[in-house]
Amino acid sequence: MGNAPLPIRDGLGPDRIRMPADLDVKTVAEFLALQYPDEAASWHAMIERGEIVDEHARVVDAQTRYAPTRFLYFYRDPAPEIPVPFELEVLHHDDELLVVDKPHFLATIPRGAHITETAVVRLRKQFDLPELTPAHRLDRMTAGVLVFVIQRRHRRAYQELFVDRQVAKEYRAVARHDPNLTFPRTVRSRIVKEHGVMTATEDPGEPNSETRIDLVDTRSDRGLYHLEPRTGRTHQLRLHMCSLGIPIEGDNYYPEFSRSIPGDFSTPLQLLASAVEFTDPLSGRARRFESERFLHW
């Protein structure tokens, strides 16, 4: 969506629809009414107001010809969301990067039911930075250091650092203390995440994930752990801790999945992205950003 013909509005980019190649229709208006009959009146009103454009930012009207395989762009008002009652704290802000301390329960980017209550939308609006894009992502339930790229022309340089594993990441987690486990230790496993399935699994086969885990401190039967992921598989840290028999406190995915109650912010996952460190691809300088948040410890 980086080359969308409509600008960011209220922190959100436009939606888009691809026109299929196998429909026998003559106009865009006919296509929309056929494909979305329940919204026919709404589409007609949007066309009347000139609110739908094609890939070249040309306004669609009632006579615009259907163009198979091409895209239509428009804004859709998101549904009301329950506000996440925690703030993003700024750790660093310069011409290239905006680094924040993300709270628990706030998603990184719009997805599913979380659209406006996301870090990127909040920050775009707060700082008037329409091109702002995350260099990486944190799970909605994970708090901590999150790096954003301010200008579109710099996105690839920073995002490739994370893709190519040139970023050292550190996490803290709270879980049960098992005196029978020795630390530090390295956990390796094969993690598989199927599309549409909420949880990932550890399956037999060649490992594709690796985490170094150390025990920092203990209090009664609880432990504070330092985690260093060497790979970035979905739910990797949560699965690796669970595989040791010490699932992270507040985890509603592992070992058993249970749906969270909308609007319940009382039990955050005790997982914190405590630091990221890398060599800046533009300046060559060493960069290290550390979270100022604390777990319930």
Q: How far apart are CA 62 and CA 83, in angstroms?
A: 38
Contacts of 179 (CB under 8 A, 6+ apart): none
Which of 38, 139, 203, 251 is flagged as catalytic? 139
| Dmax (CA) of the chain | 73
3-state DSSP helix/strand/coil percent for the chain, to nearest 5?
Answer: 15, 30, 50
In the annotation, is 22 catalytic? Answer: no
Contacts of 193 (CB under 8 A, 6+ apart): 200, 201, 233, 234, 235
Spatial CA neighbour of 187 closest among 145, 223, 144, 233: 233
- Of all helices (H) and strands (E), which one includes residue 158? helix 155-163
Q: How far apart are CA 193 and CA 165, in angstroms?
A: 20
Looking at the annotation, which residues are catalytic? Answer: 139
